C-alpha cells in the first residue's frame, strides 16, 4: 500500500512537472488560416508566436483533421478562427488537443468574424440541394482589405483579454498596420478604378468581398453550386452568359481545376486570373499587404 | 369682545364658505396634475420599456455579434445566393421570435422547425442524420448457414445503420454527444432501435487531460471508434468481427486521455468499463471492469503525407468469467495533395492478438481451462488518382483480411476489391466483391449449420450512404 501511494505521488509529481512547464514570455497563438495568421502578426508584432493550421494553397473548407494540428493547438494560449462555418474542423482539432484554453467559450477562443457586415447571408430557407452553402453568409471576408480594421480589432480585443499588459503595444502595432493598409488601399483603388463595374466570373464563390470592395461585378461561378463541380450544361450556359455580360476575366484559386477553367476562358474569350486565395498561396504573397497587392495587380492586368 | 367674536365667526364662516371651493379647485388641479403626471409617467414608462427592449435586443445581438469597431463593411453588390423554390412551409412561418405551439412542434413535415424559427445558429447544439444501406448477394448455402459478412441478412438490401445524432457544448466546460441508431437485425425486417452512444466529455480539465464518460464506442484501434457509415469499406473487417462481434466494442464507463506537451503528438488513454461485449468481455460489472488503454502518435512524413500509429489494449473477463485480453496495433497513412477532395493514396492496417482463457477437454476427456492465443489483421489500400473532374469522384479500394478464431481453432481469409463513388461530400455509393475462405477445422464456428456451408463465400455488396445536417469532420 505504501509503495502504491509513493508510486502515485511520484507519478503525479512527474506529470505536473512535465505538464506545466514555465510559461513562455510570448503568447502562443494558433489561427485556422494563413490570412488570420498574417493579420494576427500585424497586431502582436514580436509579442506572440503565431502559427496557422491550414496551408496557404489548401482549400480551407475541407481541411483534413490531422493530429499534427492538434499538437499545434495543444499548447496554444489562443485559437483564432475565421468563423461563419469556414473552419468548423477547428472544433475537432480543439477537442483532440486537450487544451482547456481554447475550447468553445474559453477566453482563448477568438472568432475573428464577430460584428462584421457579412455578405451573401441567405434570406430564405437553405438546404444542401444548394450545395455546400454557408447559412451564416459568405465566410471569405479576409480577402477584402476593407475588413482588416474590424478583423484586427476583434483579434486585438481577444488577445488583450489574455494579455492586458500588451494592449497598448497591440494597439500601436495595429495602428501602424492600418496606416500602411490605408496607404495601400488608395493605390489599389486607383489601380482598379478604370475597371469599376466590370463583370467577372469566379471559380468558387469566395471573392465577393474583394470584388465588391473594388466595385467589380460577380456575374457567375464556375461551380454550379458551392463545393459542387460544374456540369457541362452549366458551363455552356455560363459561357453564353459571359459573352452576353462581356465578362472578360475568370478569377480562380490555385487549388481549383485550372485546366477546366482555362477551357471555359478560351470558349468565352476571357482571361483566367489565378489569385492568391490566402496569404502565401502564390509566390510573393508572404504578407497580408503583399497578398492583396498581388491580387489587385493580377486582376487589373487581366481586366486590361 | 362682541366685535372680536363677530370677527371670529365671520372668519370661521368665511373659512367654512370659502375653503371648500378653494379645496375643490386644488383637488381638481391636483387631479389634473396627477393625471398629467400619470400620463407622462406611462409615456415615460412606455419609452423606457421600448428603450430597454431595444437595448436588450442590441445587447443580445452584440453578445452574438458585436458591432464592428473599425471597418465599414462593403455594400453588397450582388444579390444573395439564388433562393430555393418557396414552399408552403416557408410561407407558413411564424414571425421571428414567436414561440412555436405544441402543434407546431409535433408537425412531422417540419423536423427542423425549431432551428429555423430561432434563426441560424440559435439551436444550442448540432444535429445530423445519416443513413447507411447495404445490399449483399451471396450463395444460397451461405444464406442457409448465415455465414456471410452480415450474418442472417444474406441476400437482402437492408438499413445497416440509420443514425440520428445530437452533439455540442453543454456549457463552457463540457460537450456531449447522443446518437440513436436503427438497424435491421433479422430477415423478418424488424428494426432494432437503440441508444448507440450517449456521453459527455469534460474538456476544461488541467494539464492536457480530458475525461469522457457514458456509453461510447471505445477508442480501441483505428476503426472501432468510427461509425460504420464512415468506414472506408463496406463491411467490418473479419478480425474485428471475430474478436469483438458485429457491433464492435461499445461500452459504458469512463475514458481519460492525456496529450502531453511534447514537440510531437502523443495521446495516452486509459479507460474503465462495465464489459458487456458478448464476444470478448461479457462480465458486465464495473467492479470487475474491462480496462482499456491506448497510445497513438502521428508524424507528417512530407508536405502532404502523414502517418498515424497506435497501440491498444483491452483486458477483462468473458461472460464465463474467464480472463480475456486483446492487444492491437494500427497504422494509417494518407497522402492528400492540394486540390484533392479525397486522399490520393490511403493505407490502413490493424493487427490484433487475443489471449483468452477457454475450457477445453484434454486428451483424457476432462475439461480444463487453458489460454488460447489467436491473431488476425487486415490491410486496406485506397487510391484516387484524379484531383478534378468527374473521375475525381471515384475511388478504388482493396482489402485483405486474415484472422484466426479467438475461441476455437481455425482461420479465415478474404480479399475484397471495391469501387466508391462520391457525387458530393454528403452522398456516397459503393460496389464491392468479397471472397472469403475458411479453413476446414471450424468446430467452434460450425459453418455447416442448417445444412448450408460457408467455407467458401462469394459476396457482392452495394452500399448507399447519405448525411443530412451536421456531421463532425472526419478524423485522420
Q: What is the DSSP string of A45-111?
A: GGGEEEEESS-TTS-GGG--B-HHHHHHHHT-SEEEE--TTS-THHHHHHHHHT-GGGSTTSTTEEE
DSSP per residue, A148-177: HHHHHHHHHHHHHHH-GGGHHHHHHHHHHH
B309–chain A nearest CA distance, Å? 11
Whether ipTM > 0.85 holds is no
Strand B345-361 relative to strand B323-335, pairing: antiparallel
Chain A positions in Cβ-Cβ contact with residue B175 (cut-off 8 Å): 95
pLDDT mean over A94-123? 91
Chain A positions in Cβ-Cβ contact with residue B86 (cut-off 8 Å): 124
Instruction: Please tell me what DSSP assigns to residue B99.
Output: P
Q: Sorting pLDDT into bands at 50, 70 and 90, what band is B99? A: very low
| Alpha carbons B300 and B317: distance in angstroms, whole number | 38
| Alpha carbons A273 and B383: distance in angstroms, whole number | 31
State in Å, rounded, how far the first CA of chain A is from the last one: 83
State in Å, rounded, how far the first CA of chain B is from the last one: 117
Looking up cell 455552356 gives: A236
Structure-block grid coordinates of residue A213 = 470592395
Q: Sorting pLDDT into bands at 50, 70 and 90, what band is B133? A: very high
| Alpha carbons A104 and A95: distance in angstroms, whole number | 9
| Alpha carbons B369 and A229: distance in angstroms, whole number | 61
Which chain A residue has its CA at the smallest distance from B66's CA? Answer: A115
Measured between CB atoms, which of B77, B308, B389 is closest to A260? B389
Maximum average pLDDT range among A20-29, B275-284, B352-361, B374-383: B374-383
Q: Kindly state whether B402 is in contact with chain A, defined as any CB-CB distance less than 8 angstroms.
A: no
Chain B positions in Cβ-Cβ contact with residue A75 (cut-off 8 Å): 261
User: Is the model's pLDDT at B12 over the cut of 70?
Assistant: no
Contact (CB<8Å) B207/A16:
yes
Contact (CB<8Å) B261/A148:
no
| Alpha carbons A252 and A206: distance in angstroms, whole number | 10
B309: how many CB neighbours lie within 10 A of its CB? Answer: 15
Backbone phi and psi for residue B220, each to the nearest 5 degrees, phi listed first:
-115, 115
Radius of gyration for chain B, computed over Cα atoms and rounded to the nearest angstrom: 36
Minimum mean pLDDT among A22-36, B54-68, B99-113, B198-212: which range? B99-113
Strand partners, B383: B345, B396
Chain B positions in Cβ-Cβ contact with residue A16 (cut-off 8 Å): 207
Higher pLDDT, B27 or A156: A156
**pLDDT, tens only, A183-204:** 999 999 999 999 999 999 999 8
Distance of CA B109 to the CA centre of its chain: 24
**What is the pLDDT at residue B20?**
41
Q: Residue B352, exposed/middle/buried by CB under 10 A (0-12, 13-18, 19+)? A: buried
B58–chain A nearest CA distance, Å? 12
| Alpha carbons A279 and A286: distance in angstroms, whole number | 6
Pick from A94, A96, A135: nearest CA to A118 = A135
| Alpha carbons A58 and A54: distance in angstroms, whole number | 7
| Alpha carbons A180 and A109: distance in angstroms, whole number | 28
| Alpha carbons B367 and B40: distance in angstroms, whole number | 98
Strand partners, B414: B401, B436
Mean residue pLDDT across chain B: 80
| Alpha carbons B418 and B232: distance in angstroms, whole number | 10
Strand B394-404 relative to strand A199-202, pairing: unpaired
Most A CBs within 10 A among B86, B109, B259, hence the mutation to make, goes to B259
B367: how many CB neighbours lie within 10 A of its CB? Answer: 8
Q: Sorting pLDDT into bands at 50, 70 and 90, what band is B117? A: very low
B101–chain A nearest CA distance, Å? 20
pLDDT mean over A215-224? 91
Pick from A263, A257, A238: nearest CA to B391 = A257
**What is the pLDDT at residue B388?**
82
Measured between CB atoms, which of B68, B257, B334 is closest to A117? B68
Amino acid at each position: 500500500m505504501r509503495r502504491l501511494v509513493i508510486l502515485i505521488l511520484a507519478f503525479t509529481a512527474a506529470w505536473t512537472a512535465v505538464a506545466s512547464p514555465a510559461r513562455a514570455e510570448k503568447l502562443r497563438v494558433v489561427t485556422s488560416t494563413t490570412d488570420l495568421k498574417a493579420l494576427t502578426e500585424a497586431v502582436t508584432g514580436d509579442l506572440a508566436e503565431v502559427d496557422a493550421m491550414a496551408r496557404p494553397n489548401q482549400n480551407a473548407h475541407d481541411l483534413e483533421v490531422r493530429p499534427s494540428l492538434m499538437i499545434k493547438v495543444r499548447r496554444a494560449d489562443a485559437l483564432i478562427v475565421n468563423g461563419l462555418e469556414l473552419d468548423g474542423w477547428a472544433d475537432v482539432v480543439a477537442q483532440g488537443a486537450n487544451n482547456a484554453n481554447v475550447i468553445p467559450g474559453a477566453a482563448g477562443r477568438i472568432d475573428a468574424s464577430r460584428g462584421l457586415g457579412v455578405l451573401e447571408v441567405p434570406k430564405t430557407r437553405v438546404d444542401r440541394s444548394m450545395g455546400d452553402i454557408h447559412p451564416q453568409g459568405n465566410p471569405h471576408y479576409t480577402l477584402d482589405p476593407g475588413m482588416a480594421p474590424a478583423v484586427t480589432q476583434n483579434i486585438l480585443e481577444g488577445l488583450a483579454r489574455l494579455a492586458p499588459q500588451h494592449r497598448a503595444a497591440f494597439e500601436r502595432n495595429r495602428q501602424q498596420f492600418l496606416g500602411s493598409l490605408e496607404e495601400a488601399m488608395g493605390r489599389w483603388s486607383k489601380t482598379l478604378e478604370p475597371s469599376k463595374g466590370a463583370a467577372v466570373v469566379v471559380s468558387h464563390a469566395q471573392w465577393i468581398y474583394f470584388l465588391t470592395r473594388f466595385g467589380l461585378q460577380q456575374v457567375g461561378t464556375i461551380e454550379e453550386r458551392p463545393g459542387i463541380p460544374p456540369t457541362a450544361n452549366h458551363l455552356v450556359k455560363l459561357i453564353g452568359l459571359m459573352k452576353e455580360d462581356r465578362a472578360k476575366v475568370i478569377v480562380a484559386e490555385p487549388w481549383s481545376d485550372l485546366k477546366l477553367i482555362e477551357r471555359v476562358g478560351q470558349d468565352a474569350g476571357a482571361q483566367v486570373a489565378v489569385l492568391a486565395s490566402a496569404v502565401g498561396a502564390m509566390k510573393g504573397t508572404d504578407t497580408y499587404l503583399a497578398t492583396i497587392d498581388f491580387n489587385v495587380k493580377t486582376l487589373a492586368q487581366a481586366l486590361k | 369682545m362682541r366685535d372680536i367674536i363677530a370677527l371670529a365667526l365671520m372668519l370661521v364662516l368665511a373659512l367654512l364658505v370659502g375653503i371648500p371651493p378653494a379645496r375643490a379647485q386644488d383637488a381638481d388641479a391636483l387631479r389634473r396634475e396627477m393625471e398629467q403626471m400619470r400620463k407622462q409617467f406611462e409615456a415615460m414608462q412606455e419609452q423606457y420599456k421600448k428603450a430597454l427592449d431595444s437595448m436588450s435586443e442590441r445587447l443580445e445581438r452584440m453578445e452574438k455579434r458585436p458591432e464592428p469597431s473599425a471597418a465599414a463593411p462593403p455594400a453588397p453588390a450582388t444579390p444573395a445566393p439564388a433562393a430555393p423554390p418557396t414552399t408552403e412551409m416557408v410561407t407558413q412561418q411564424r414571425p421571428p421570435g414567436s414561440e412555436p405551439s405544441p402543434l407546431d412542434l409535433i408537425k412531422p413535415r417540419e423536423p427542423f422547425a425549431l432551428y429555423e424559427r430561432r434563426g441560424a445558429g440559435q439551436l444550442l447544439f448540432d444535429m445530423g442524420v445519416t443513413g447507411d444501406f447495404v445490399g449483399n448477394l451471396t450463395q444460397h448455402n451461405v444464406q442457409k448457414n448465415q455465414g456471410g459478412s452480415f450474418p442472417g441478412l444474406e441476400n437482402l438490401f437492408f438499413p445497416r445503420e440509420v443514425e440520428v445524432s445530437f452533439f455540442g457544448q453543454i456549457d463552457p466546460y463540457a460537450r456531449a454527444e447522443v446518437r440513436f441508431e436503427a438497424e435491421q437485425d433479422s430477415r423478418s425486417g424488424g428494426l432494432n432501435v437503440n441508444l448507440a452512444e450517449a456521453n459527455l466529455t469534460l474538456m476544461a480539465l488541467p494539464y492536457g487531460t480530458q475525461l469522457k464518460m457514458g456509453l461510447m464506442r471505445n477508442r480501441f484501434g483505428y476503426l472501432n471508434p468510427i461509425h460504420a457509415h464512415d468506414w472506408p469499406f463496406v463491411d467490418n473487417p473479419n478480425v474485428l468481427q471475430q474478436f469483438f462481434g458485429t457491433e464492435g466494442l461499445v461500452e459504458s464507463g469512463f475514458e481519460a486521455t492525456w496529450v502531453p506537451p511534447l514537440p510531437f503528438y502523443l495521446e495516452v488513454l486509459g479507460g474503465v468499463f462495465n464489459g458487456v461485449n458478448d464476444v470478448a468481455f461479457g462480465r458486465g460489472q464495473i467492479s470487475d471492469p474491462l480496462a482499456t488503454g491506448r497510445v497513438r502518435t502521428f508524424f507528417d512524413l512530407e508536405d502532404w503525407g502523414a502517418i498515424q500509429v497506435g497501440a491498444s489494449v483491452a483486458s477483462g473477463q468473458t461472460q464465463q468469467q474467464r480472463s480475456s485480453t486483446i492487444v492491437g496495433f494500427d497504422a494509417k497513412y494518407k497522402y492528400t495533395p492540394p486540390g484533392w477532395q479525397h486522399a490520393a493514396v490511403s493505407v490502413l492496417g490493424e493487427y490484433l492478438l487475443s489471449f483468452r482463457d477457454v475450457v477445453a477437454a484434454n486428451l483424457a476427456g476432462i475439461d480444463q481451462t487453458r489460454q488460447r492465443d489467436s491473431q488476425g489483421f487486415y490491410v486496406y489500400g485506397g487510391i484516387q488518382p484524379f484531383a478534378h473532374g468527374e473521375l475525381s469522384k471515384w475511388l478504388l479500394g482493396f482489402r485483405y483480411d486474415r484472422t484466426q478464431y479467438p475461441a476455437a481453432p481455425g482461420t479465415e481469409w478474404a480479399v475484397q476489391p471495391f469501387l466508391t463513388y462520391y457525387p458530393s461530400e454528403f452522398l456516397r455509393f459503393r460496389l464491392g466483391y468479397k471472397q472469403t475462405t475458411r479453413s476446414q477445422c471450424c468446430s467452434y464456428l460450425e459453418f455447416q449449420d442448417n445444412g448450408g456451408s460457408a467455407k467458401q463465400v462469394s459476396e457482392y455488396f452495394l452500399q448507399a450512404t447519405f448525411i443530412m445536417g451536421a456531421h463532425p469532420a472526419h478524423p485522420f
